[in-house]
Homo-oligomer: A and B are copies of this chain.
Amino acid sequence: MRLTPSQIERFRAQGFLVLPELFSRQEIAVLRDALPALYAEDTPANIREKRSGEVRTAMGLHLRHPVYRRLVRHPRLIEPAFQLLGDRVYVQQVKINTKAAFEGEVWQWHYDFATHHAEDGVPAPLALNLHIFLDDVSEFNGPLWFIPGSHERGPVPAALDIETTSYPLWCVGRDTVADLVAAGGIVSATGAAGTALIFGDCLVHASPPNLSPWDRRIFSLIVNPIANAYTKTGRPDYKHHRDLTPIAPLADDCLATAPCVAAQ
């Protein structure tokens, strides 16, 4: 798995890439099968919706399940990251963002570096967010909305929002969003389960609530160059892992041969 020169060029210009069905239905089934047990765990790494108590975000998964331990070294995620960042990167954060049917809340307009810089002391906006859709994602179940090109303005002003939703988030103000959208528009990142996204640390994005009867679960791996590591450790380690071991990719069939799969 290598990005083509035109994909790299598009990533640099727009700030994101959509890779339709990068993972097979069978691989997605392996990832989904692990979820009920993970969601049932009583751990602070399972962050729950304010109103319903359902798991909104399950974090630190590579330390909690053998399938996810493999997924964070999957070459279809890591080889593209090496192309964009060089080959000395570490696992910064590993999670699934769930938007449960009828329940999933809005995420306000934000970009990840605002949090990475303010909370973790990450020096530069280099980290990549690598997503895999675990469900079909449509306009109806809370897709990510990207503002193409918004990363080019560098880190725009942001302020901490602790009121709107269950998860404190550094958000971008309305005037700034209006300016960015006037220039770049909005793109909804939709696709079948197995579709992957790559987006950078300054790309401004949001997502609407899930009013539909369809769950929307997305796996997210954030990788960051070791030379650009955290300088603060105020947040729990499942929000920014401390282990700076360089990621070494596994074989392309690593999910099919994962221990808990082989054992079935």
Q: Which residues of A are interface residues toward B (Cβ below 8 A)?
A: 101-102, 106, 108-109, 139-140, 145, 174, 177-178, 181-182, 186, 188, 206, 208-209, 211-213
Q: Are B140 and A211 within 8 A (Cβ)?
A: no
Residues in B with CB closer than 8 Å to A102 are 174, 177
Closest to A138 in B: B186
Q: Are B139 and A181 within 8 A (Cβ)?
A: no
Q: Are B139 and A211 within 8 A (Cβ)?
A: no
Copy number of this protein in the oligomer? 2
Known: A102-B174, A174-B102, A208-B208. A139 touches B213 (CB 8 A): no
Residues in B with CB closer than 8 Å to A106 are 209, 211
Add 10 more A-B contacts to A101-B174, A139-B139 (CB < 8 A): A101-B178, A102-B174, A106-B211, A139-B188, A140-B186, A140-B188, A181-B213, A208-B208, A208-B211, A209-B209
Of A108, A174, A211, chain B has the most CB atoms within 10 Å of the CB of A211
Question: Whole-angstrom distance between the alpha carbons of A177 and B109 in the complex?
Answer: 29
CB distance from A66 to the nearest CB of B (A): 33
Q: Are B208 and A209 within 8 A (Cβ)?
A: yes
Q: Are A211 and B174 within 8 A (Cβ)?
A: no
23 A-B pairs with CB atoms under 8 Å apart are A101-B174, A101-B178, A102-B174, A102-B177, A106-B209, A106-B211, A108-B211, A109-B211, A139-B139, A139-B188, A140-B145, A140-B188, A145-B211, A174-B213, A177-B213, A178-B213, A181-B212, A181-B213, A186-B212, A206-B211, A208-B208, A208-B209, A209-B209
Residues in B with CB closer than 8 Å to A186 are 140, 212
Residues in B with CB closer than 8 Å to A206 are 211
Closest to A182 in B: B213
